[in-house]
Amino acid sequence: MTGRIDETADQGVHDADSRLAEVWGDVVDRRNVAFAVVLGIIISVPAFLGSQAILTAVMENTSLARTYAMLIGLGACLCVGVVCARLFPPVRIFREETIGTTEQEAAIAALRSAPNGLGSVDELKPDECAELEAMGLYDLFAEAEATQKREPADNGTEGEAER
């Protein structure tokens, strides 16, 4: 099984692509990001400034009071982040589905042609092997590795037979 990201939550809207942006490897709605930033400023800055005013009036060490105020402001930022994560649903829908053997073989071929090649299942750690087995891919990689090892040998014998 493998996961595929195949549709947006705003699929019916034609301008959905123009509203989407990639931020740190994830797809976001620009309006949601703008609202989250504004909400963060509205909550965090007053929390910082208010706590700084209160703490500097109460504490003797103003530098320590400012440090605590900064921590309170950062805590407010984290709270706003949690609230925004709850407010804004994902713009992508992730569905797991089983892919066919032709797609798996195409993926193996793409890995073979990559600069580092396919690699070897012997180089994998035990937990990596267990993960491949759980996904039903270990045998596929082992078979592809065996095929890859046979191919250079086959090519070499064909060249010698022609000479």
Residues across the chain: 163
* Token pair recorded at residue 15: 């301008």
Angle, helices 101-113 vs 138-162, to 10°: value is 60
> Are the C-beta atoms of 52 and 69 separated by less than 8 Å?
yes
pLDDT, tens only, 136-154: 778 888 888 888 777 765 5
- Average pLDDT, stretch 30-43? 93
- pLDDT number for residue 63: 95
- Please list the residues that pair with 12 across neighbouring strands: none
Between CA 152 and CA 148 the distance in angstroms is 7
In order of 3, 33, 118, 135, the CA distances from 97 in angstroms are 6, 30, 24, 12
Contact indicator for 4, 95 with CB cutoff of 8 Å? yes
Residue 19 has pLDDT above 90, yes or no: no
Report pLDDT for 6. 44
pLDDT over threshold 50, residue 163: no
pLDDT in tens, 44-103: 999 999 999 999 999 999 999 999 999 999 999 999 999 998 998 777 655 666 667 777
Q: pLDDT tens digit string along 26-35?
A: 778 889 999 9
Reported as half-sphere exposure (CB side, CA atoms, 13 A), residue 33 has a value of 12
Q: What's the pLDDT at 93?
A: 56
Angle formed by the axes of helices 138-162 and 126-135, to 10°?
100
**Which pLDDT does position 136 carry in this prediction?**
76
The pTM is what?
0.48
